[in-house]
A and B are shown apart, each in its own frame.
Chain A
Amino acid sequence: MIPAPFTYTRAASVDEALELAVQGGEDAKFLAGGHSLLPLMKLRLAVPETLIDIGRIGELSYIAEQDGHIVIGALTSHDAVARSGLLGSELPLLAHAAGQVGDPQVRHRGTIGGSLAHADPAADLPAVILALGATLVTRGASGSREIPAGDFFLDLFETALRPGELLTEIRIPKPHVTGWSYQKFTKRGIDWAIVGVAVQGGSVTLVNMGSTPLRAGAVERAVAAGSELRDAAAHAAEGTSPPDDLNGGRAYREHLARVLVARGLEEARSRS
């Protein structure tokens, strides 16, 4: 299957990418690694008229430490995130979860920024950066913005990014509580999560339990109040609206959320 015809352009810098976006208008899309967008285009579920290839903007591929934060360029590949020594010691949750994305080939091409901007509720990284309390840094024609992860994901495949605005950096505060866990439940290793759970200290978030990554607020409050972990986990499905599809019905996903949150809390505690 072949994408519908489009015009390919390539940006060498963020400034050039933003300029091309202005020229391309509403029917232009940024292309990073392409592992979210190109599959949709091949199935002709996405039909952009212009692609702006930002994949070679070297200035957006980095992992560094800055003022008590870890900063990651949006075009850093999943593979680089997964293998980063800095992340392995400072943000093992993120490094581990990035290593769970897709398969090795996908991780070589796919980027953290591409995954976040695509905002698939079944994807691993949106819930992880939500658990980590990240801030997303963007640049657009009207300047730069910093968007807390909790405000970034608006709906299914919908983010706070404005047309022509580019996600450039993910800023993550170094966690105070070190215990972490990522519980990804799939039928096959290669699959998207049927349900996933990210835990960092007392922060608990859910993959694929609604149209965006969700914070398991009731669980967090119960943990903070000193509940037994299994008791706290019983609240995992509160306020969720999971999909009902061939991989699982709502009741099953709600059950999985409770099981996986319990396991995640226990694993995180064992690591703290």
Chain B
Amino acid sequence: MSILGTRVVRTEDPRLLTAGGTYVDDLRVPELTQAARVTFVRSPIAHALITGIDAAAAREAPGVLAVLTANDLDDLPPPPPDDGGGGGDGGDGGEAAPLPLGGPWTEPLLAVDRVRFVGEPVAMVITTEHYQGEDAAELVSVDYEPLPPVIGADAALAGESLLFPAAGTNVAVTFGAPADATTFDGCEVVVERTIENQRLAPVPMEGRAAAAVWAAGKLTVWVSTQNAQISRFVLAGALGLDPDSIRVVAPDVGGGFGAKIGLDRDALLVAWAAKHTGRALRWAETRSENLLGMTHGRAQRQVIKIGGTLDGRILAYRLEIVQDTGAYPRMGGFLPFLTSLMATGPYDIGTAETAYRVIVTNTTPISAYRGAGRPEATAAVERAVDLFAVEIGMDPADVRRINLVPPDKFPFNSPCGAVYDTGAYSAALDKVLAGAGYQELRAEQARRRERGDVRQLGIGVASYVEITAADAAGGETARLVVHDDGTATVYTGSSAHGQGHHTAWAMLVQAELGIDMDKVTVVHGDTDLIPLGVGTYASRSLQLGGVAVQKAAVDVREQARRVAADMLEASESDLELDVDRGLWHVRGDPEASRTWAQVAGHAGEDGLAASVNYTEGQPTFPFGTHLAVAEVDTETGKATMLRHVTVDDAGTVLSPLLAEGQRHGGIAQGVAQALLEEMRYDAAGNPVTGTLVDYAIITAAELPSFELLASETPATINPLGAKGIGEAGTIGATPATQNAVIDAVSHLGVRHIDMPVTPERVWTAISDAREGR
């Protein structure tokens, strides 16, 4: 029996549980023994001109080796030529403009003459000891001349204060057609609403960290990243170095969630400063820095408009987005493209329109956060469907069933331009409804409403489809070597930061070759060993990196077949691999066999090895339904989650254990967005949720145990039948939870509450509804 699909515990865990991981700040390698410490001086002001920096006092402070500012960045290659990208209302940036934008939107490494968000790096202090850095950084005196801050969509669009005067606008990208007046013709009911998909902080438990050494013409950079190989090319470009003279190592990485794709300017600066000063350097940000300096996610204001018939058929949908991308147009400028692509979700809606504008504001830049554009799409359409359902007085689950893409329509061309590969959408919905006992929940809700209970019950449903491995054409690499002691090593371009790649890839090798997974070593994140690779984001690992490992294993198996045939003096076609025992033998003669060690030993100089760069022409489209049950205290407005039931169909499951873990984590983050989390700024652009006291990460005490139901509809484009599972949780759980809380008070007249649906917001919504506001 194949090991695939079975509950295998992780090979990573004994080390993590007994010795702890080796994250960047834990590295005790010889190259870093004498490493000095980097502490950043960051802007305390959202928008200002820098009129002077006086570092004299800091330079005299104990342990200070150097204080570096933008003036010291004189040994870097010139910035790339102005590509004219972005700006204006003509949409020069285009739908998939390569971001970050250059030209007038260029982001400096250290602030030059202007700061654009609280937390922007202004100077670097290098000290021999860790503790000295914070003392000295306080002594760097920066003169700021405040400028009017641009906070929020309205201020950005008004354009009275500009972040980039040379661009002439705060709108970096414009996309989509103006509303067509006829789109909603023929609809009996049309509902329109402006909703917020609030700004979140990713908060991986390990913040950003980097260490760097320049020695003998080679730069070595250890960085907490999801993509060592991409980071190498980014470093080469920014520092003007040959990629061959750079080694990037991603050691253990304490979570990423999209915010550690590549590397930030802070880490680039650490690498640059190591070369510039000739000192080994180490930097690990504090949580307070992390909440301001690491990119944020989401931050969309959405206008949703949905129309259809009184019997529940949705005919038209329009989604308009203002994407706040923070102070610099990084990947945030691309997120609304993905949101638009997935706007109609799992529904067969005849007419759909999308349009978006990407604006800059004096806030932390926006980038990917678990789901990256797709949770925003699902949140919008799932709110729209519930608003439509309540308007026509139909059960929201029934409205979904009527409109889900039917199974005979796959592959399905969505009106937004996506091609959904495979799916069983209404089956997922019905499975969740049955698993949750939907009718009984509705009956209990009715009883509480009838009695006028203080604690009302809400049931929230969200169906979704998402896109994974959106950049499938970028592919992923794998190299597999079988050694003459019978062990094997996998070199993967995918990047592990908690997902369990080491276990999963070993399972794939065992399944194909019969080499016990305990004998399979998986190596990732070292560009000297793995120069080419893409890394982990967009739920791409298994369907690209995993398939690459499997294909490498198949290649090695066929090489071994030739060697074993030679050893056993038989024809290749008569050779069989006994996968259960890991032995080669001639068909019909299992006793005369050869082990992998013997075959590898006989394989000659090149040994048994294969390299694969697997690319795929199409992304995949996982789908599912989440159902959340909330109890809302109508006197205080506080919501308590009682249950969360899901189907997340990501094709064939390789490791149920790992897949469930991904779902659990995503659900928690989704519930957290719906109920608790929001990165907030005051009108002056000061963050008011800058520590973990105020930025409310969800804890065990706020969550129920989750009820996961299984469903596997294989993908057809890859041999594993796999789709991505990493982001399902945030995509499905967020709107299910939000819908549940609103549903609990909908009988009181409440139609919508923006996320996070805090107690105060729920209470305010109830009060307003009671007073007819």
Contact = CB atoms under 8 A, between A and B. Distances in A.
Interface of A: 1-2, 4-5, 43-44, 185, 187-192, 194, 246-249, 252, 255-256, 259-260
B135 interface: yes
Contacts, number: 52
Interface string B112-143: 00000000000000000011001100100000
B698 A249 contact: no
A207 B689 CA distance: 22
Contacts of B764: 252
Nearest to B688: A246
B578 to A, nearest CB: 53
Nearest to B288: A1
A185 B638 contact: yes
Contacts of B693: 192
B461 to A, nearest CB: 25
B699 A252 contact: no
A43 B696 CA distance: 18
A246 B699 contact: no
Contact of B759 (A5, A187, A192, A246): A187
Interface size class of B (residues with CB under 8 A): 20 to 34
Given A185-B636, A188-B699, A255-B763, 6 more contacts: A5-B135, A187-B675, A188-B701, A248-B759, A252-B760, A256-B636
A190 B763 contact: no
Interface string B640-676: 0000000000000000000000000000000000011
A252 B637 CA distance: 10
Interface string B693-706: 11010110110000
A4 B131 CA distance: 9
A5 B636 CA distance: 44
A259 B635 contact: yes
Contacts of B635: 259
Contact of B702 (A4, A188, A247, A248): A188
Nearest to B691: A43
Contacts of B676: 187-188
A23 B746 CA distance: 65
A188 B698 contact: yes
A248 B759 CA distance: 9
A259 B636 contact: yes
Question: Which one of A188, A248, A260 has the greatest number of beta carbons of chain B within 10 Å?
Answer: A188
Contacts of B751: none
B431 interface: no
A109 to B, nearest CB: 17
Given A185-B636, A188-B696, A189-B701, A2 B131 contact: yes
B758 interface: yes
Contacts of B759: 185, 187, 194, 248, 252
Contacts of B696: 187-188, 191
B680 interface: yes
Contacts of B701: 188-190
A248 B693 CA distance: 15
B286 A190 contact: no
16 contacts: A1-B134, A2-B131, A5-B135, A44-B138, A187-B676, A187-B696, A188-B702, A189-B701, A190-B699, A194-B759, A246-B680, A246-B689, A246-B694, A252-B764, A256-B636, A259-B635
B636 A189 contact: no
A2 B680 contact: no
A185 B760 CA distance: 12
A8 B689 CA distance: 32
- Among B131, B696, B699, B760, the one with the most A-chain Cβ atoms within 10 Å of its Cβ is B760
A167 B177 CA distance: 70
Nearest to B637: A252
B699 A189 contact: yes
Leading 8 A-B pairs by shortest Cβ distance: A189-B701, A252-B760, A259-B635, A2-B131, A248-B760, A1-B286, A2-B134, A188-B702
Main secondary structure, interface of A, reads loop
Contacts of A255: 763
Contacts of A191: 696
A202 to B, nearest CB: 23
A16 to B, nearest CB: 28
Interface in B419-472: none
A44 B763 CA distance: 36
Contacts of B763: 252, 255
A43 B287 CA distance: 11
A44 B689 CA distance: 17
A255 B689 CA distance: 24
Contacts of B758: 187, 247
A255 B638 CA distance: 13
A25 to B, nearest CB: 23
Nearest to B133: A2
Contact of B135 (A4, A190, A247): A4
Contacts of B688: 246
A77 B680 CA distance: 35
Contacts of A194: 759
A259 B633 CA distance: 11
A44 B259 CA distance: 28
Interface in B673-723: 675-676, 680, 688-689, 691, 693-694, 696, 698-699, 701-702
Given A1-B286, A256-B636, A249 B699 contact: no
A127 B462 CA distance: 43
Nearest to B678: A246
Interface in B739-765: 758-760, 763-764
Nearest to B689: A246
A145 B112 CA distance: 59
Contacts of A188: 676, 696, 698-699, 701-702
A194 B763 CA distance: 14
Contacts of A187: 638, 675-676, 696, 758-759
Nearest to A183: B636
Contacts of B638: 185, 187
A4 B62 CA distance: 13
Nearest to B695: A246
Contacts of A249: 760
A247 to B, nearest CB: 8
B696 to A, nearest CB: 6
A22 B675 CA distance: 50
A247 B436 CA distance: 33
A249 to B, nearest CB: 7
Indicate the member of B688, B694, B759 with the most A CB atoms within 10 Å. B759
Nearest to A258: B635
Nearest to A194: B759
A189 B701 CA distance: 6
Contacts of A192: 693
A118 to B, nearest CB: 15
A196 to B, nearest CB: 13
B753 to A, nearest CB: 14
Nearest to B287: A1
Nearest to A252: B760
Contacts of A252: 759-760, 763-764
B457 to A, nearest CB: 20
A92 to B, nearest CB: 22
B137 to A, nearest CB: 11
Given A246-B688, A255-B763, A259-B635, A189 B702 contact: yes
Nearest to A255: B763
Nearest to B761: A252
Contacts of B138: 44
A259 B696 CA distance: 24
A192 B691 CA distance: 14
A246 B759 CA distance: 11
A177 B638 CA distance: 31
Interface string B387-408: 0000000000000000000000
A102 B273 CA distance: 41
Contacts of A190: 699, 701
Contacts of B702: 188-189
A249 B680 CA distance: 15
A224 to B, nearest CB: 25
